Amino acid sequence: MFKKIKLKIGKENAQRELKVAVLGNPNSGKSTLFNALTGLNQQTGNYPGVTVEKHSGDALIHDDKTGDNIYVTYLDLPGTYSIYPKTLDEEVCFKVMCDDTNEDHPDAAIIVADASNLRRSLFLATQIIDLRIPCIFVMNMMDIARVRGVHIDTSELSKFLGVPVVAANARKHHGVDEIKQLLAHGLTPPQKDFIDINQFVPAQVMEPSQKMFPKKSPYGVYQLVNNEAGIEHFEILPTQKIDIKKLIKASGFDKHRIQSQETIARYKAINEIVKECVKIDEEEKRKSLSSRIDAILTHKVWGYLIFLGVLFVIFQSIFLIAKYPMDGIEFFFVKLSELGNDTLPKGELSALLINGILAGLSGIVVFVPQIALLFAFIAILEDTGYMARVSFLMDRLMRPLGLNGRSVIPLMSGMACAVPAIMGARTISNWKERMITIMVTPLMSCSARLPVYTLLISLVIPSTHNYGFFNMQGLVLMGMYLIGFLAALAAAFVMKSILKSREKSHFIMELPLYHIPKFSTIGLTIYQKVRMFLFDAGKVIIAISIILWFMASHAPKGTLPAIETAYQSTDSTKKYNPQQLETRVSSAKLKASYAGMAGKWIEPVIKPLGFDWKIGIALITSFAAREAFVGTMATLYSADSKDNTQSIREKMAAATNRETGGPEYTAAVGFSLMLFYAFAMQCMSTLAVVYRETKSIKWPIIQFLYMGAMAYLASLIVFQVFK
C-alpha cells in the first residue's frame, strides 16, 4: 500500500496530466470501477451534438516510484459491445476512441470485462488493442467468477493480448490501486495487431488510405474508411474525404462483408485464447442460481405478480413516504417566508424575494424526496439485473404502442409525479422509444391533480350516490386516473407513426446475472439526479415562477392603490372585520392584476368549455403547480361569500352563473374542468425537465401544444354535449 496524500484535486498540484477512457460492455461493472477511481469528483454533461450523457471525473494519482502526482481525467464511456457505431451511445465511443483529434480522445484506456463473460469482453478489448491505444484489461468480478468455477490465467492472457491484465473487484475496491499505479508508471501502445485487417480489406483501398494517415494503425485506418459516412466528424481535409469516397467506390468495398469477416476471425482467435487461459470447473453450476431466480421472476404468474408488487411498493413510496419530507419542506418554506414578511422591510424587492424567488425555490426543492426515492428504486432494479427482466416480461405488451418494456417504470411513476418519471426514461436506450415515453408520461394522472379532482368531484357528484359497495365519488376519481392512462397509451400509439428514427427498435440484449446492489452506487445515482434537477431544471422553474409572481401581484399603474383606498373607506371597515377586509382586498387585487386581466382576456376562448374568467385565472396560476387551482379559487371566491366560515367547496357550490342564474358549477362544467386538468400540460417543472432531458426547446413546445389541444377538445365536447 502506498501512503494516501490528501491534496486538492487540481492541475496545480500535479506534475503530469493524463486522459483515461473507461470502456466496456454493458453490465461489466464499468461504472462501479469508474466510481471507485474518481469518488465524488464527477461531472455530468453532454457530448457535443448528441443527447448522450457524458460522465467524467478527476483524480490525483500519486506515483509511488517517482513521487510525482498525476492529474487524471477519467471518461466513463457508454457501455458498448464493439467499436462499430450503430446506436448513439456506440457512436460516441467510436468518435472518442477512433478520432485522435476529438477533444476527449484518451491517452490510455481501461477496458472493463466481466470475468464470467470473457469472450464478449475480449471482442471489444482486441479492437481497442488493434487501434494501438495504450490500455489495461481489467477483469472485474474475478472473485465471483472464481467461486462460480471459472479460473483465468491472467499472466498468460496478458502475454496473448500484449497489454497488462488486472484481476479486480471494483465493488470491494480490489485491484483499483494496481490500476492507478499502472497508469502512473506509463503505458505503451500495443505493438502487435490481434487481427490483420489487411487480409479482408482490398489493398487498393488500404494502401493509399494508410498513406493519408501515416500515424494511424491499419485497423484505425480501416475503421475510418469503413465509417466513411461518419467521418465528417473527423478533422480531415475535404479533398481526403473525396479521395476516400472514390477509393470505396472503385474497389467495391463491401463494409458489411468485411465487418462480418472481421467479427468471425476475431471470435475465432478469442476462442483459441480462452481455450488456453480459462479453465471452467462446472459450466452449468455457475449459472444455476440466476436461472432459478429467473424461473420465478419471469414466471407467467409469479413474474407478473412480483412485478405488480414491485410497482406497488415504488408507487406507494413516491406517493406516501415522500409526502412527509415534502410536507416538511413546504412547512420550512412557509416559515421562512413568514419570517421574511416579518423582518424584511416592506417593498418591491422583499416581495420579489419572498413571493417570487422563495416560492420558486420551494417549488423546486419539494420535488427532491420523490426524485431521490424513484432513483433509489431504479438504481436498485438496474443494479440487481431485475430491470432487464421487467423489459423481458413487458416488451410484448408495450411494443404495439411504440414503447419498450423499460417504459413501464417511468409511466407508472408518472402517476406520482412526471418530473422524476421523465428523468427515469433515461434507462431506455432507443431514442424513439425514450422520446415517446417522455412525451406521454405527463398524461398519467400525477399527485398534483388529486386536490383538483377531489375538490371538483365533491362539488358535482353527490356523496350520497352509492351503488352497493361502490362509492360514486371514488369511482369517478378512479375513472379520471384511467382516462389519463388510456390517453397516454393512445398518444403513444399516434406518436409511434409520427416520430421518425434512423435507429431500429431491437431487443437484442443481455439478461445479466443477478447481483446484490451496491449501496454507494445507488447513493451516487441519487446524488447525481437530484443535483441535475436542482441546477438544470431549477433555473427554468425559478424564472417562470418569477414571471407568474409578477403577473399575479402587479397591475397597470394606479389600480392597486385605488383598491386599497376604496376598502379603507369607513363603510368597508364597519362592514367587515380586519381579516375579512384583508381577504377581500387581496381578491380584488388579484382580479385587477395582469393575471386577472389575462383571465378575462382568455374568457372568450374558454367560454365554450364552460369556464369563466375566474377559472381562467386559476388555469394561469396552475402553471406553477396544478394544485395552485385550489388556492387561487379560494382567494377569488373569498370576496363573494357573506362571511369567512364557508369552505372553498361551499363557496364554489353557491356560486351562480351570471347568464343562467343556476349554479355555476354544473356537472358539465365540473367534468369539462377535470378533463382539462387531466390532459393539459400545466406544469412548468415538467416542461423544464423535458427541456433538460431532450436538450431541445422543440419537445416541450410540442408537448405543451399537443396536450393543450387534447385538453381543449375533450373539454369542449364534454361541455357542449352535457350542458
By CB under 8 A, name the binding residues for another protein: 81-82, 84, 86, 116-120, 123, 256, 259-260, 263-264, 267, 283, 287, 290-291, 294-295, 298-300, 303-304, 388, 392-393, 395-397, 399, 504, 506-513
Cβ-based nearer residue to another protein, 232 or 283: 283
CB of 525 to another protein, least distance (A): 24
Rounded Cα–Cα distance for residues 544 and 688 (Å): 10
Residue 316 or 501 with smaller CB distance to another protein:
501
Is the separation of the CB atoms in 15 and 61 below 8 Å?
Answer: no
**Cα-to-chain-centroid distance, residue 687:** 13
User: Nearest distance from residue 435's CB to another protein, in Å?
Assistant: 20
CA–CA separation, 236 and 133 (whole Å): 20
- Measure the CA–CA gap between 556 and 385, rounded to whole angstroms: 60
For residue 174, the SS3 value is strand
CB of 396 to another protein, least distance (A): 4
Nearer to another protein, 511 or 701 (CB): 511
Residue 145 or 609 having the CB closest to another protein: 145
Integer Cα distance of 256 and 279 in angstroms:
34
At its nearest, how many Å lie between another protein and the CB of residue 97?
A: 15
Cell of 601: 382576456
Taking the least distance from each CB to another protein, the nearer of 80 and 209 is 80
Least distance to another protein, CB of residue 439, Å: 24
Residue with Cβ nearer another protein (275 or 300): 300
Any alpha helices (H) in 54-193, and if so which ranges? 88-98, 118-130, 142-147, 154-161, 176-185
d(Cα 393, Cα 388) in Å, to the nearest integer?
Answer: 9
CB of 635 to another protein, least distance (A): 52
Q: How far is CA 440 from the centre of its chain?
A: 14
Q: How far is the CB of 288 from another protein (least distance, A)?
A: 12
Calpha distance 618→627 (Å, rounded)? 10
Toward another protein, which CB reaches closer, 296 or 717?
A: 296
Nearer of residues 80 and 370 to another protein, judged by Cβ = 80
Using left for φ > 0, alpha for ψ between -120 and 50, and beta otherwise, residue 141 falls in: left
* Smallest distance from another protein to CB 381, Å: 16
Cβ proximity to another protein, 459 vs 513, nearer residue: 513
Q: By C-beta, is 1 or 229 nearer to another protein? A: 229
In order, the DSSP letters of 8-24 are --SGGG-SEEEEEEEEE
CA atoms lying within 13 Å on the CB side of residue 717 = 6
Minimum Å gap between C-beta 474 and another protein is 32
Q: Distance of alpha carbon 615 from its chain centroid, rounded?
A: 33
CA distances from 21 to 29, 100, 133, 159, 403 (A): 14, 13, 10, 23, 32
- In the complex, the smallest distance separating the C-beta of residue 150 from another protein, rounded to whole angstroms, is 9
- Residue 282 CB, nearest approach to another protein (Å): 13
> What pairs with residue 139 in β-bridges?
113, 167
Q: Given the complex with another protein, which of 385 and 420 has the nearer CB atom?
A: 385
Contacts 24+ apart (CB under 8 A), 9-13: 9/41, 9/58, 9/59, 9/60, 9/71, 10/71, 11/71, 13/60, 13/69, 13/71
**Cα-Cα end-to-end distance for the chain:** 80
Looking at this protein, which amino acid is placed at residue 585?
V
